Structure 1
Amino acid sequence: MALSPSALRPLADDLYLWKPPQRGWGLANCGLLAASDEALWIDTPYDRPLAEAFLAESQRILGGRGIARIVVTHANGDHLWGAEVVPGAEVIATREARHHLELEPSPEQLRRMIESAGEGSPVGSYLAEHFGHFDWSGTRVVEPGTVFEGELELTVGGHPVLLTSLPPAHTTGDLLVHLPDHGTVFTGDVVFGSTPEEPGDHPVHWAGPLENVIGACERVLETGAETIVPGHGPVLDIAGLRSHIDHLAELRERAHALHGRGVPAVEAARIIAGEGLGPELGLVERLVVTVGTEYRHLDGTEPGPLAEVLPEMIAFAAEQRGR
C-alpha cells in the first residue's frame, strides 16, 4: 500500500520540513532551504514515489528554481535513495558515509531479501509489514560526489549552512546540519524524536557506542539552536533534546550494568523493555540492535552482517507483541 504524501511545513524564513505521513522504519524527515536564488535539500525520502512527492512540494515553493545541492546526513537508504529524482544535483556527505555505502544493501538486494524470505516466514512477514509499501523498482543509488572530513561551510542564498562530521554513532558517516540564521539543526539519525503529544520510535544505532551518540546530541546543544529536526519523529526543542539524551544515558547505564553481570545482549534488551524504558515508544525490537551494538563495543568485537541480527530482532518483536 502506497503512503500518502505530506505537505511542507515552514520552520523559519525560507526553511521547510517535509515530514512523513506516519512513523516507522524508513520514514525520514527531510528539509528544504529555499533561498531567493538557489535551493538545498537536507536528506531525501526512501523511494521514488515519496521522493517525487517531496520534489513536487518543493517545486510548489520554488516555482521555476531548481535544487542545486543535497546534503545527506548519513548513507542509510531512507536518507539517500531519493536523490535520483534531482539529476545533476551536487550530493554532499562525509567521506565515511561514502565508505558506508559498501556495507548498505542495495535497493535490489533489499527487495530480493523481502521476496525470498516469503510472507509465510516470521522474517518475511516482518519485512513485508514494515518495508513492503516502499517501491524500489528501478531505483538508482546516487553516490555523494562531494565528501569531506571535519567541517564544511556552504552558503545558500546568503544563508550559512554548517556541516560537521561526527565520530561513529548511528552509522560511521553521520553529520549535523546547522543553519544558524534559522536557529535550527538537522541531526539525522543521531536523534530520534519523541514528545508526549507525538510519541516516536525507539532509537536504533548500528555503529555506536552510545557514548558517541550522546556526544553528538551534546554538540547539537552547543550550537545554541532552539529547533532540532531529528532523523525521524517530531521536531524537538532544547528540553526535548535533553530528555532524549537522558533516555540514551539511561539505556547506556542499564546495558553496561547487565553486560557486567554477564547477561546476554538479547536478554538484556528483554530486561530493559520489561523495566519500561520508553514505554510510549514504538518498535521496541530495536533495543536488540542498539543493546547489541553497545555489547559489541564492550566486548571489542566486529559487527556482523545485517542478516544475523534480523531473526533475533524479529523474534523479539513477536514476543513483545504477544505480551
Structure 2
Amino acid sequence: MPITVGDIVDLGAGLYAWLPPKRGWGLANCGLLVSRRGALWIDAPYDPLLAGQFLAESTKRLPAGVSVDRVIVTHANGDHFWGAGVLPDAEIIATREAREHIHYDPTPRQQHALVTGSDPETPLGAYLTRHFGAFDWSATEQGLPTTYFTGELELTLGEHTVQVTSLPPAHTTGDLIVHLPERRTVFSGDVIFASTPRQPGDHPVHWAGPLSNVIDACERVLATGAEVIVPGHGPLLDPAGVREHIGYLAHVRDRAHALHAAGVPALEAARRVIRERRHPALGLPERLVVTIGSEYRHLDGSELPGVLQVMADVAAVAHETGTACTGEPA
C-alpha cells in the first residue's frame, strides 16, 4: 500500500513539522522553515515519492519566488536523507562524522535490490518486504552532503536563527540537533523516538551508542529550554515526554549491563528484554537487537557487524516473537 504524507503541523512563524501518518521503519518526521528570503528542510523523507509529496506540501507554504534551498540532515540514515535528491540544487548540511555512517549503510539502489530480491519465504526476506517494500529507491542516486561542519553552526534564515549542534556518537556516528530559539523548538533527530499514551510509538533503534551518550543528547535537548520537541519518529513531545524517554533509555541500558555482567550473549539479552514486556505499547520490539547489540560492543569492545547480519538477527527475533507481520508486540 502506498505511503502518503501525514499531518503538516504549523508550529508558528513559518515553522512546520511533517508527521507521517503511522509508525514503522522509515517513517521519519521532517521540518520546514520558511521566510521571505528562503526556506529549508530539516531532514528529507525516505524515497523520492514521499519526498515529492513533502515538497508539494512545502511549496504550498512558500512565498512567491522562494524555494527550499537547504537541507539540514540530523544524521545519515536514509529515512532522513535519501529524499533530498528532489532538491538537486539545495545545500545539504551534515556533520563531518556523518560520513562514517553513510559508508556503513547500503546505497539506495543496493537497498532496493536487497528488498526486492530477497526470498519472502525466509524470515529476513519477509521482514524486509513487510517493512521496506512500500519504498522505491530503484532510481535514487546516493547523494552526499555539500557542507560539513563540526561543533556548532549558526544559520540565519530571514528573521529566524537556526542553531545546529553536533553530538558525540549516539543514534549514529554524526548526529545533530536543530534548535529554533525564537520558536522554543528543537528537532532532535533520532536521539529521540517519541511515544505518548495517546500515540504509542516504536522501540528506538540505536546503531552507535553507548546509551549514556543517547541520554546525554536528550539532556542537551532539555537544556535548550525548548517547549516543543520534534523527535525523529513519533508524536511531538514536551519536556516531560523527553524525561519519560530518558527513563526508557536508562532502563534498557541497565538491563543490558546486568545481562552482560551475567554472561548472557547480546542476542539472547535482547530476547530476554523483549519477553519482559516492560513497554508493551511500543511497536517493533525486535529493534532491541540493534540497540542492545550496540551497548554490548561498548562493554566488550567487539566489532560492528555488517548491517545485513544485524537485520537478519532482527528479522529472526521478530519471527520468533510473532512481531514480523504486525510490527506490534506479541
TM-score, normalising length: structure 2 = 0.96
Mapped partners of 1:289, 1:101: distance in 2: 18
CA distance in structure 2 between the aligned counterparts of 1:85 and 1:50, rounded to whole angstroms: 10
Secondary structure at 1:298's aligned position in 2?
Answer: helix
| Residue 4 (structure 1) shift | 2.0
Task: Name the CA distance, whole Å, in 2 between partners of 1:130 and 1:63.
Answer: 37
| 1:62 matched residue in structure 2 | 62
Instruction: Measure, in 2, the Cα distance between the counterparts of 1:34 and 1:191.
Output: 24
Indicate the larger mover: 49-58 or 14-23: 14-23
State how far apart, in whole Å, the 1-side matches of 2:122 and 2:317 are.
15
Partner of 1:50: 50
Shift of 1:319: 1.6
1:103 aligns with 2:108: no
Q: Do the aligned partners of 1:153 and 1:161 also contact (CA within 8 Å) in 2?
A: yes
Instruction: For 1:172 and 1:119, locate their aligned partners in 2 and report how far apart those are by CA, in whole Å.
Output: 31
Percent of paired sites with the same residue: 59
User: Counterparts of 2:132 and 2:79 in 1: how far apart (Å)?
Assistant: 11
Gaps of 5+ in 2: 324-329
**CA deviation vs aligned residue, 1:218-267 (integer Å, no higher than 9, x gap):** 00010000101100011110000000001000110111011100011121
**Contact 2:203–2:284 (CA<8 Å) still a contact in 1?**
yes
Please give the alpha-carbon distance, in whole angstroms, between the structure 2 residues aligned to 1:297 and 1:130: 28
Q: C-alpha distance in 1, partners of 2:7/2:141?
A: 25
Task: Specify the alignment match of 1:21 in structure 2.
Answer: 21
The alignment's C-alpha RMSD in Å is: 1.1
Match of 2:192 in 1: 191
Shift of 1:134: 0.3
Corresponding pairs, count: 323
Deviations 1:54-75 (A, max 9, x none): 0000000004310121100001
Instruction: Tell me the secondary structure at the aligned position of residue 285 of structure 1.
Output: helix
Residue 40 (structure 2) aligns with: 40
Aligned ranges for residues 165-204 of structure 1 at < 5 Å? 165-204=166-205
Structure 1 length-normalised TM: 0.98
Residue matched to 2:142: 141
The residue number in structure 1 matching 2:326 is none
- After TM superposition, give the deviation of residue 99 of structure 1 in Å: 3.1
1:293-312 → structure 2 map (5 Å cutoff): 293-312=294-313
What displacement does 1:192 show?
Answer: 0.2
Q: Where does residue 327 of structure 2 map in the other structure?
A: none
The amino acid of 2:59's aligned partner reads Q
Task: Name the amino acid aligned to 1:98.
Answer: R
State the 1:311 CA deviation: 2.0
Query: Partner letter of residue 122 of structure 1?
Result: P
- Residue type at the aligned position of 1:42: I
Q: 1:101 aligns to what SS in structure 2?
A: helix
1:320 aligned partner: 321
Q: Is the 8 A contact 1:27 1:45 kept in 2?
A: yes
Q: Distance in 2 between matches of 1:100 and 1:251?
A: 23
* Aligned structure 1 segments of 4 or more residues deviating by more than 3 angstroms: none
Equivalent position amino acid for 1:178 in 2: H
Conserved in 1, the CA contact under 8 Å of 2:108 and 2:140? yes
One-letter code aligned to 1:86: L
Residues 7 and 21 in structure 2, CA contact (< 8 A), matched pair in contact too: no
- State the secondary structure of the residue aligned to 1:262: coil
Q: Decide which moves more: 309-318 or 174-183.
A: 309-318
Structure 1 residue matching 2:294: 3-state secondary structure: helix
- For residues 163-207 of structure 1, the C-alpha deviation after alignment (integer angstroms, 9 at most, x for no partner) is 000000110000000000100000100000000000000010000
What one-letter code is carried by the residue in structure 2 that aligns with 1:269? A
Q: Post-superposition shift, 1:80?
A: 0.6
Q: Distance in 1 between matches of 2:14 and 2:217?
A: 26
The letter for the 2-side match of 1:59 is: T
After superposition, the C-alpha distances for 1:132-181 in whole angstroms (9 at most, x for unaligned) are: 00011211232111100000000011211000000001100000000001
Distance 1:51 1:110 in 2: 17
